[in-house]
Amino acid sequence: MKSVINKRGALELSIGTIVIIVIGMSMLILGLVLVRTIFTGSTESINILNEKVQNEISSLFADEGADIVVKLGEGQTAKIKPGGGIFSVAIGARTPDGSNVGSRNRLQYKLTLDQPTGNNCASKLGDIKRAEDLLVTPVNTFNSFDQFEGSNAFALIEINVPKGTAVCSQKVFIDVKDTQSGSEEFYGGNFFKIDILKEGFFD
């Protein structure tokens, strides 16, 4: 009789131990996922200029009252981990007079980087050219927009941060001109910031 009771107690102990182990492992996995999410940061990379992205950019024109907008999260910051492949930032521009764009080449944008200062990438990487090379989209030259509809034009700015890149931040300026105006001056501008994150434990 005593032997049966001992076996039953051992069985109950084993089931209780298994339940505790399963719960413990579940909590550990959830904790690791949470830590990874926190340290990875928000990226908000845009893969394609689909209708949803275009509508969001168009709504930003009304909300911000600007002619040039950047589709990014809070602080207009792209948080990028080195070695993660191409990261895309969506931008939009509208004609200053509200007329139809009519051509992919009518509105053109130029990207320039903030000069070396403090801990920005142009300073930390030792050369502004190395910071410019982080952008796949050409800098210091006029680029045509990828798509246009009505008075709005849209483009993707592509960034590629290779593994081993130092932690740094870099401001990128976007200036837009209207080729139909007959003037080489920009009619509007905006910016976004690149934050290069530390390569983490999960990479």
Structure confidence by residue, pLDDT tens digits, 132-142: 999 999 999 99
> How far apart, in Å, are the Cα atoms of 123 and each of 113, 158, 162?
11, 21, 17
Query: Residue 42: its pLDDT value, please?
Result: 45
Local confidence band at 176 (pLDDT 50, 70, 90 cut-offs): very high
Options 3.40.50.10860, 2.40.50.140, 3.40.50.970, 2.60.40.10; CATH for 45-196 is 2.60.40.10
Query: Residue 38: its pLDDT value, please?
Result: 46
Taken in order 59, 145, 174, 157, the sign of the CA dihedral is positive
The residues, ordered by sequence, that sit 6+ positions from 171 with a Cβ below 8 Å of its Cβ are 113, 114, 120, 191, 192, 193, 194
Structure confidence by residue, pLDDT tens digits, 31-87: 766 655 544 444 467 778 888 888 888 888 888 888 999 988 667 899 999 998 999
**Do the Cβ atoms of 92 and 66 come closer than 8 Å?**
no
184: pLDDT strictly greater than 70? yes
10: pLDDT strictly greater than 60? no
**Do the Cβ atoms of 152 and 93 come closer than 8 Å?**
yes
| Higher pLDDT, residue 135 or 10 | 135
Query: Residue 119: its pLDDT value, please?
Result: 84
**Interstrand relation of 188-196 and 77-80 (parallel, antiparallel or unpaired):** parallel
Query: Residue 7: its pLDDT value, please?
Result: 52
The full 3-state SS of 94-159, as one line of letters, equals: ECCCCCCCCCCCCEEEEEEECCCCCCEHHHHCCCHHHHHCCECCCCCCEEECCEEECCEEEEEEEE
The residues, ordered by sequence, that sit 6+ positions from 1 with a Cβ below 8 Å of its Cβ are none
Lowest mean pLDDT among 5-19, 88-102, 183-197: 5-19
**Do the Cβ atoms of 176 and 67 come closer than 8 Å?**
yes
Query: Residue 41: its pLDDT value, please?
Result: 44
**Do the Cβ atoms of 196 and 83 come closer than 8 Å?**
no
- Among 78, 72, 84, 91, which Cα is nearest to 160's? 84
